[in-house]
Amino acid sequence: MQQAVQKQLEKERETVIAHLDSIKEATITPIEFSYDDIVIGQRIQRMQKSIPMEYNHLVKAYLDKYVSRNYQPYMEKLLGLSQYYFPIYEQIFAENNIPDEIKFLSVVESSLNPHTLSSAGALGPWQFIYGTAKGYNLAMDSYVDERKDVYLSTYAVSKYLTEAHDEFNDWLLALASYNCGRGCVRRAIQRSGMRAPTFWELSPYLPQETRNYIPKFIAMSYVLQHPDMHHLTARTTDLALPYKVMMVDKHVDMSRIASAINCPLDILQAYNPAFKKTQVNGSAADPKRLIVPVKQGLNDSLLYMALNNQTVPFQEKESFQYIVKSGETLATIAKANGVSVSDLITWNDLPVASVPVGKSLRIEKETSENIISARLANNVNKAKAKEGIAKKQMAYVLHVVRKGDTLSSIASKYRGASINRLKADNNIKTSHLSIGQKIKVFQAQS
């Protein structure tokens, strides 16, 4: 086994050396590759899954920049943000048969900042321009800009890249088209006279920005997959809390939600950047996704009341002094008293996350936790019961269009449905339907 592994490593090394030597010979400007470059080239070879990746002088230029001391704070922030964004990307890409490696493209596009706005007006983690976003059914109105929604924009980019790969049969060319457009790649192929070029073969015929786009992608992919090799450590971000995803089918006030979950409003908004206001404009026909950070001691009853626009009872606070004992830390004190370490630091204006034995600490606790009462529980139960009745009276079902279906035939199959309502609920302008199209159908319940 050891001999087989050694032979494989030697073969990889020889391949990389031959490739780097060929680059040296082909370029006019002298290029020097070190032993470290050979090692990096081997690692990049091993990174390859569905997308071909190679190490060359163009990738090296960006990689050297990303691992430089000046870039360290930036790269460590990206590592911290990736802990929130990448699991979401991975889940959606797996559902849509998109290569996992494409998650690194979002870093190149937006630095994982949904508020990044390009000079061309592109916005969101995947940098959709207005027209393309409309083409992929991302809503942009006075309440919401779904280009900033990490889930919806990732579904949209999955659809775009699937279509691009179907056309070019090459993932790197699909990614290149995401930068300059599919029409641009088509025209470049025509000018080249090549039948099925690779990205590197087609590169001289593409815009300069697109020629740099793929080397940036490969370099960023490498560094974020090998942070330890370059002494990079993820930094804590505002998106470090665990969270739950909820679908909201009515208008709710985010400030109420923030109060109910004991979370600053700006942190809740950081998890939900698509909403332009503090209002979540959900409805039964078009429920909105709300990402709720989960802090220790989350009170589900209070959250339920806030989601249903009921008045959340005022939470009185009592405070007391706690004397630090030998062997105790802020973490153990916080856990014993049902509070957070950050709260202890805030209440006591502590300069560091450690305290000496004998120090007196101020601790605040909400008394309503003990007195939220049978009356509050009863109110919640009543509200849930009413909600259940409402849902029995009205519901939507999903109908997949089959051969021969028309709006009239679909409406006739469901009680309470009508052609006008089908058009309104699905934003259908004509009577034309496509096989496989998914349509929301209102259905009255008995």
The three-class DSSP label of residue 130 is: helix
CA distances from 120 to 109, 133, 310, 353, 368 (A): 13, 13, 43, 45, 51
Residue in 197, 200, 189, 209 with CA at minimum distance from that of residue 118: 209
Continuous segment of H or E residues that includes residue 378: helix 374-393
Strands 288-293 and 394-400: unpaired
Decide: 172 and 213 in contact? Cβ < 8 Å: no
268 and 355 inside one domain: no
177 and 116 inside one domain: yes
* Residue-by-residue pLDDT tens, the chain, 446 positions: 666 656 666 666 666 655 554 554 455 555 666 667 887 888 888 888 889 988 888 899 899 999 999 999 999 999 999 999 999 999 999 999 999 999 999 999 999 999 998 888 899 999 999 999 999 999 998 899 999 999 999 999 999 999 999 999 999 999 999 999 999 999 999 999 999 999 999 999 999 999 999 999 999 999 999 999 999 999 989 898 899 999 998 899 999 999 888 888 999 999 999 999 999 998 888 899 999 998 877 878 888 888 887 654 444 456 788 888 888 888 888 888 877 776 777 677 676 666 788 888 888 765 544 444 444 455 555 555 555 544 444 466 778 787 778 887 787 777 667 777 777 777 777 777 877 787 888 765 54
Question: Domain for residue 189, yes or no?
Answer: yes
Instruction: Count up the domains in the chain and report the number.
Output: 4
CA 13/CA 223 separation, integer angstroms: 20
294 and 250 inside one domain: yes
Question: Domain for residue 150, yes or no?
Answer: no
285 and 348 inside one domain: no
A 10 A CB-CB count for 400 gives: 10
Domain boundary among the residues 259, 289, 307 is at 307
pTM of the model as a whole: 0.67
Domain boundary among the residues 286, 307, 328 is at 307
CA 314/CA 372 separation, integer angstroms: 10
A 10 A CB-CB count for 385 gives: 10
219 and 248 inside one domain: no
Residue reference for tokens 């990303």: 66
215 and 277 inside one domain: no
Decide: 96 and 155 in contact? Cβ < 8 Å: yes
303 and 195 inside one domain: no
The three-class DSSP label of residue 136 is: coil
User: Residue 254's domain spans which residues?
Assistant: 243-307
286 and 410 inside one domain: no
Domain boundary among the residues 188, 204, 231 is at 231
Question: Domain for residue 236, yes or no?
Answer: no
215 and 250 inside one domain: no
Residue in 426, 439, 84, 442 with CA at minimum distance from that of residue 245: 84
Continuous segment of H or E residues that includes residue 394: strand 394-400
